[in-house]
Structure 1
Amino acid sequence: MASKRGKDDYSGVPQKKIRLKTDVDFPTFPERLLNKTTSSLYRIIAASDACYTLTALKICNCNAGDIEKGNLFSNAHCSVLPIAPAHVFGSVFEVGIDILLDYLHSEKIPRIRLMWDLLKMLVEYLSDTESQAVLENTAPNCGESDLAMLLTNHLFSLLAFVPDYKVNKDTMVTSCPCQIQECISKENHGDTSIGNEKVWHGRVDILFDDAVIVEPVHESVEESLENEHISETKWHVSFNKEHIIAETIVNSFLQKNLEPDEISLIPCIGVTKTDLIFYFYDSTFDVLLESLKVPILVGRVGHYKVNMDAILTSWLVINTRYLSNGLTEAMRAKKADFFAQTRSKLAVYQENLKIGGIGAPHQTRMSCVEVDNTDPIRQRNRKLFDIMKNECLNRNTSEVKYF
């Protein structure tokens, strides 16, 4: 199994200060995977028909700035449109891409300890046939939630510099579907709530290092008509995109609050029954990105293999804090318009988000007690009152009641 390393292994010494004097402990790259790894890297960084891309999204309307109440992620509404053109997936991962390219091309190993460790984790996983076999044998029979848990234990945590994670026990399975005792006995359940009761908030399913969200993507096939004049029935796949977008945006603002000096491009990993899909939001530049789907397995029934593309993209995304260069200049110009959509609630996102201990949605009932005295109908009320007053006097009633 690939080794795991925590963030405190270096006694508090800043990572960029630690440099290696020897590469003796660095694992040997499996030669049989050189062509496959190179081809996969090409699909991540090259502009071709077969490449993976990131598309900027514009928010047309949403309830993130609801002035009357906060909304749970499950009740989030967020309508989006793509902004053309798309960008190559590797555009935001030049740091990680350069490290891997240098290693594949000239066997150059990073001198900075953090980068050395990150590359080592990837190379070890590529040789870790045991973990890959667990995915190949178990993933085809998993639903979205089970698969998210399986990938967390047998892919993401083995590639992450900080492998610690928490699971929402209310919505996620209580153990890894692999049925390996080491995974079944893990106690990773905890409070995964983020946000603020006045705005978008709620519990995410899996939270890595209190920073990266992993969320099952529940797809459904829906029937629709092209338009009212055509009888042809079309089918399309929908999923909880609004839910995931809301979590991604809130987490980006939260991470910026917690780590103001770190990169503000924050990812969320979506897991369908067969694919990975990545979302990113940058709360500094107000840019929202969506990736194409990346198949988790390739091959045919009974002969599945873990997709190299899924391994490389997962390594980059789970370590975005370290391997990303942030948005390109062209991306920064493609605003999501979240700032404009939230208006008076924007300050809550920017200053008052929290992690853990999130309660029920806050509600503010809006009402107006002052009445406009110039309303014409009030003159008729005056006449009605005079009639009632006269009627009371005629009955020798001293008390006048106001209706």
Structure 2
Amino acid sequence: MAALQLLHTVKKTKVFFYGFNRISKLRLMKHVSSRYFSSIRRSQTDILKSALNNYIDLQLAPLMIKNCNIGVSFSEAHLEHEVYSCKGNDIVLCDNFSNVFKEGFNALHQSIDKVGVGFFDAPTEGNGTEDYMYYYALSALRDFLTEMDYHEKCLKHKEPFGDAFDKQKDAYVAALLTNHLLSRLVYGNRYLISNDYAVQPPKCPCLKPLECASLINYGQTGLGCEDIWYGHPDIVLVPPNFSNTSLWFFEDDIEAQMQEDDDLLTKDLLQQNNRSIDISEIKLKMVFEKCAEQILSQAITFSFCEANRDSSGGRRRHTLIPSIVLTPHHYLVVMYDYENDILLSSDHQISPLWDETGVKFNLSAVLQIWMVLNHSYFKPKLSTEFQKDFAFTCEIHRIFKELQVFDKTKQITYRPSFRQENKRLKAKKRLMLYSDYKKKFKKSHDLK
């Protein structure tokens, strides 16, 4: 897998680094003093403290698959699904994201006042401590927090107002969010954007093209099995030494399609029952409903793929595998436990990528996305009680066994192409010169 060819620009006192270890490169510069590191340290700590103090949690609700088709691509998958509720009532029992990622939040709280390991200095490899396990993820987060203001300005301007996502197609949205958010939250910034996009911007199409000048990396991201579901995730992030993370992007095209009259009509309908719901919540719900079958089939497939990956190296295995879906303005988290057959989603909850200003990242979103992307380090898991009560409520195990394809889940993996894709390619028509065609036609005509 080719690594991104990273560039850095140095302009007087303002430094932008996009390498594998920003701090180590800064230390090579003689004019950087210890006071600079102290300033960075305080800034990062303040931002992180603010994010934790004002954290807004996500609720993950269990879903049940009632029926589905198989042997098709993600975009052709049909999954009849509904929110799983307790028998005898309409209560939906959720779990908090912070409970599922308890290990990740503990690591953040423990690192706030830590100056040594996990801050700038790499711990000794193989010492068996959690510091070593968390070092890569924490380093990526701290680098991003230091540069967050720059990345925000690459995507949004308040005065004069600018939005890099305006009227951009999904390939450009993928490049923008990958280069200025997602890859920055993974140590090493290594990623691949699917080369299935018809249009592939070679450089980052952000609002600061001269300062950024980042090349965009494309490649094969195929995932799945022909007998179940298959396709090409929009992006694969590659954390060091650990498992990949697949992500999917969707345009906010539904928001563009909804005219003002439709918005007013929808509001009127909602307020008939003396309750008011923000229109953005309706739009996000519509985005999920439009793409839910593709999202859920991808999340389940990715989870089974993780189950098949080599688990050597003494790592504790976790079976609850998260996936993330983004639009330019929102995100949602889907998690599937491939062993206990539990499917969770945050789609019922509005999840803004930006804060109330519209030009600054929502710090709760940053922490949640960071943990999802680094799930191999933080090993998300459900409580023993929740896991016991909701085991096999997704029912995809039952469905696959009835369709006699459950054993095929062992064949789910990353691959460049799939048989069904090749079968659907239209047969190329034979080329013939017009003069030859006329001669052949004349000859056959003469025989008559």
The code of the aligned residue for 2:205 comes to P
Q: CA deviation at 1:34?
A: 5.4
Q: CA deviation at 1:35?
A: 5.3
Deviations 1:211-259 (A, max 9, x none): 2122113453799x99xxxxx9x98723311101111111111111113
Q: CA deviation at 1:117?
A: 3.2
Deviations 1:273-295 (A, max 9, x none): 31111111121111111123421
1:347 to 399, 407, 413: 407
> Does the aligned pair in 2 maintain the 1:96–1:316 contact within 8 Å?
yes
- CA 1:218–1:331 in 2, change beyond 3 Å: closer, same or farther? farther
Q: CA deviation at 1:114?
A: 3.4
2:215 to 186, 189, 199: 186
Match of 2:356 in 1: 299
Structure number with higher strand proportion: 1
The code of the aligned residue for 1:157 comes to S
- CA 1:117–1:185 in 2, change beyond 3 Å: closer, same or farther? closer
Give the SS at the match of 1:277.
strand
Give the SS at the match of 2:420.
coil
- CA 1:328–1:182 in 2, change beyond 3 Å: closer, same or farther? farther
> Does the aligned pair in 2 maintain the 1:144–1:272 contact within 8 Å?
no
> Does the aligned pair in 2 maintain the 1:207–1:213 contact within 8 Å?
yes
- Whether 1:33 aligns to 2:47 is yes
Match of 2:193 in 1: 167
For this pair of structures, how many residues does the alignment match?
325
Equivalence map 1:324-339=2 (5 Å)? 324-332=379-387, 333-334=389-390, 335-339=393-397
The code of the aligned residue for 1:345 comes to V
> Partners in 2 of 1:183 and 1:256 — Cα distance?
37
Match of 2:175 in 1: 149
More RCO (CA 8 Å, sep 6+): 1
- Whether 1:61 aligns to 2:67 is yes
Q: CA deviation at 1:106?
A: 7.2
Kindly, what percent of the aligned residue pairs are identical? 24
> Does the aligned pair in 1 maintain the 2:60–2:344 contact within 8 Å?
yes
> Partners in 2 of 1:55 and 1:105 — Cα distance?
34
> Does the aligned pair in 2 maintain the 1:166–1:206 contact within 8 Å?
yes
Deviations 1:106-165 (A, max 9, x none): 778656233133223212222212123213334552657233321211111111135322
> Partners in 2 of 1:357 and 1:339 — Cα distance?
26
Match of 1:317 in 2: 372
Aligned CA RMSD, in angstroms, stands at: 3.4
Match of 2:296 in 1: 245
- CA 1:131–1:249 in 2, change beyond 3 Å: closer, same or farther? same
Match of 2:336 in 1: 281
> Does the aligned pair in 2 maintain the 1:102–1:109 contact within 8 Å?
no
> Does the aligned pair in 1 maintain the 2:226–2:420 contact within 8 Å?
yes
> Partners in 1 of 2:60 and 2:155 — Cα distance?
26
Q: CA deviation at 1:171?
A: 2.7
> Partners in 2 of 1:191 and 1:106 — Cα distance?
40
- CA 1:355–1:97 in 2, change beyond 3 Å: closer, same or farther? same
- CA 1:151–1:293 in 2, change beyond 3 Å: closer, same or farther? farther
> Partners in 2 of 1:105 and 1:113 — Cα distance?
17
Give the SS at the match of 1:240.
helix
Q: CA deviation at 1:169?
A: 2.2
> Partners in 1 of 2:180 and 2:167 — Cα distance?
14
Equivalence map 1:45-194=2 (5 Å)? 51-64=57-70, 70-83=71-84, 84-104=92-112, 110=118, 112-128=131-147, 129-137=149-157, 138-139=163-164, 141=166, 143=168, 145=170, 146-161=172-187, 163-171=189-197, 173-175=199-201, 176-178=204-206, 180=209, 186-194=215-223
Match of 1:377 in 2: none
- CA 1:106–1:239 in 2, change beyond 3 Å: closer, same or farther? same
> Does the aligned pair in 2 maintain the 1:148–1:271 contact within 8 Å?
no
> Does the aligned pair in 2 maintain the 1:197–1:362 contact within 8 Å?
no
The code of the aligned residue for 2:174 comes to A
> Partners in 2 of 1:358 and 1:140 — Cα distance?
30
> Partners in 2 of 1:246 and 1:182 — Cα distance?
39
1:357 to 379, 397, 416: 416
- Whether 1:215 aligns to 2:266 is no
Structure 1's unaligned 5+ residue stretches are 10-23, 44-50, 65-69, 227-231, 364-403
2:306 to 232, 251, 255: 255
Computing the radius of gyration over CA atoms, which structure comes out larger, 1 or 2? 1
> Does the aligned pair in 2 maintain the 1:245–1:279 contact within 8 Å?
yes
- Whether 1:200 aligns to 2:229 is yes
The code of the aligned residue for 1:62 comes to C
- CA 1:107–1:159 in 2, change beyond 3 Å: closer, same or farther? same
The code of the aligned residue for 1:57 comes to L
> Partners in 2 of 1:39 and 1:2 — Cα distance?
29
